[in-house]
Structure 1
Amino acid sequence: MRKQSEGYDEHDAERWVPEPVKRPGRTAFARDRARVLHSAGLRRLAAKTQVATAGSDDFVRNRLTHSLEVAQIGRELAGTLGCDPDIVDAACLAHDLGHPPFGHNGERALDQIAADIGGFEGNAQTLRLLTRLESKTFAADGRSAGLNLSRATLDAATKYPWPRREGERKFGVYDDDLAVFEWLRQGLGDQRCLEAQVMDFADDVAYSVHDVEDGIVAHSIDLDRIGAERAPYWQTVREAYLPDGEDAELDEAWARLTALPYWPTGPFDDSRRALGGLKDLTSQLIGRFCTAAEQSTHARFGRRSRLVRYDADLVVPDGTRAEIALLKGIGMFHVLNSPERQRRRAVQRELLTELFEALAKTAPDNLDLPFAADYRAAPDDAARLRVLVDQVASLTDPSALAWHSALTG
């Protein structure tokens, strides 16, 4: 019998396509983590935009380094709550696999291209990659099951457990992937398992502190100036992350952060001491946010040794959410919303649109072999369009540029 972690059962460890157990002493969830870690999709994240364009700077994060950091945060928080750390680790490593070239900017371009077939969403693409596009396991009828992860791990990697709905931009599954989605969810509605909530929170924590760190090192962010110019930052926070955030709430959160003994004072001067202080800031903030969530969750659900799956929800105090939103808003205001970045993003969207149109004219001739086979097997135009979207989404930033140059001259 396959070994399970305490608190999880055979239902949680079940795979969509049954497989023989090759190493009985290893849990299903440890195998899941290894499959994600060794996947081609994870390797590609090294050349995909996080905030700065991939390869533009030796210091700032790319999608791969971000995912590794999210996994470390999520794994440790999972351990304090009693979740299986391999499930959360695998979900964190997988959470951005579906992102196309140029990050969220590329996501918007592909969403417009795919508007008539259900759109494009990075999280829905992640599920598609894990259960179909990544090469690992095949059913008896020849159908690809992707990495064929366990039910519990796929559920943990599902940030938005619903199909596309009117009025909502985020969703977690395309219509033609509903079969596996319904298998892993089995009528759970919109509720997310605790492991998915930990993954999502770890993503927020990493995103908030590391974008600020990268911005400070790039001299795009000067924390000393923010206290005197709060209004535009607070507005960005409300527009993007905390719609109901009042000035008083944000002022209090800012006061708490700036009063911390490890908060930097004075301008960043690129010295080793300044870099060390900045690294201490990020470490301390991660610990602060995760400790607050751990303590609040245990206060609500008790200090049981195991909180797993649907036994509990992650409880994040309002003050912690406000502090995280502030940091994310600062990063967005200085980095994502800069005029230079807006110009670059417009060029990137145009490039992906032109690349898609060039592929559509020549398909399947210029597609990678697996996507060419999918294209030939597609039953209709909508399915063929989805294959073209899959191909473009699979590319890294440099390969998108190279393909565009080769196909458009």
Structure 2
Amino acid sequence: MQHANYPPKRLRFGVFEADPRIGELTKHGKRLPLQEQPFQLLSMLLERPGELVSREELRARIWPETIVDFDQGLNKAISKIREALGDSAENPRFIETVARRGYRFLADVAVVQDGPREAAAGDLTVQEDGGRLSGPEAGISARAPPRALAWRVFGFGFALVLAAALSWILYTLRASSPTIRSVAVLPLGNLSGDISQDYFADGMTEELITQLGQISALRVISSTSVMRYKGVGKPLAEIARELNVQAVVEGSVLRSGDRVRITVQLIRVPADEQMWAKRYEGDLRDALALQSEVAQAIAEQVRATLSRQQQVALQKPKTVTPDAYEAYLKGRYFWNKRTGESLKKAIDYFSHAIATDPNYAEAYSGLADSYALSGDWEYGVLPPQDAFRQARAAATKALALDDSLGEAHTSLAFAFDLYGWDWAAAEKEYKRAIELNPGYATA
């Protein structure tokens, strides 16, 4: 369904076409990945080629309620557009920066006229919530002449048949494609424009990796390996080649107060084929459920075979208070930094998460991991035996709350391995962790 303020047709410039009705940018007919806000910005520029579009206009249309750093969000969106178009700020072919004022689209823009069949299909919108239809045909007047009504009913039925046929063709094509057995979840973009919210996007990335890691039929690249691509801007095919994966998951997170929006897409490489894309919105308290939905959808798209245990793990309802979840994400963010000061902060945040939600098993696991590293001579936060005692206690509590948590088994194994010198116990816990979460790289 087209945006009321956007042009109603596809727009062509050079070898590119943009369709504001469906948010799609293509090059030679091949879809290019471009996130929602950059596409909205590009659409605004395409509405007025050769004219200056001011920063104030862009903000009013795309970031109307944003209270964070608008400049950073705008710069990032422009950068994403230029990357997709192969454009540059120094020698622009498409987008010119007018210092401190706004942007101007330089190339000629032509409207692409849809053919009769394509226009008819464009009038029909099939939504995911039960197949309800919207469009002109949904409001056929009871007073229409019988012949006109008959033709409308015929056209409506034909559109349904056409949609069903298209679905069958897409299903057949997907079924004939090679099964995806390896995937990398690239760092989710922080659309808030506020770098202090990076912990949230990074944490959501790591949690999604952990969720997918439970699928034994799917090799999932560790968060340590993918985080080095944060903000790099390399082509997806190059990243996939370096990580030796068949597909990548990329997307963005926008957090506003207690609301969160996750946009994700699954792309097969090196063909750069978008296999699936979706946007999820909900309260912060539902963030874990949203991640589970994303993981289940990706598992379905790659046709991964799930054991009964893995199905239960992905569908297992997880509820946690927003404050506890936010503290947990901050704890993991600082734990990953691996410095003495960051480990102290991680311990504080995990402890806060536990105080807020005493049954939060993942927070106890994070606390155990932080204590375990704190006793290492490299960080020197705690004496080794104190670190071991507290790490083992936190990991044991995590397992008492949820024995199916692979991360908690890893935490306990880590403590035995580093300080307890109980190799048999450590090996037992590591094996159990891998059994529960085959993709958890820490194990």
- Which TM-score band applies after superposition, normalised by the shorter structure? under 0.3
Provide TM-score, normalisation by structure 1.
0.28
Structure with more of its chain in strand, by fraction: 2
Name the structure with the higher helix share: 1
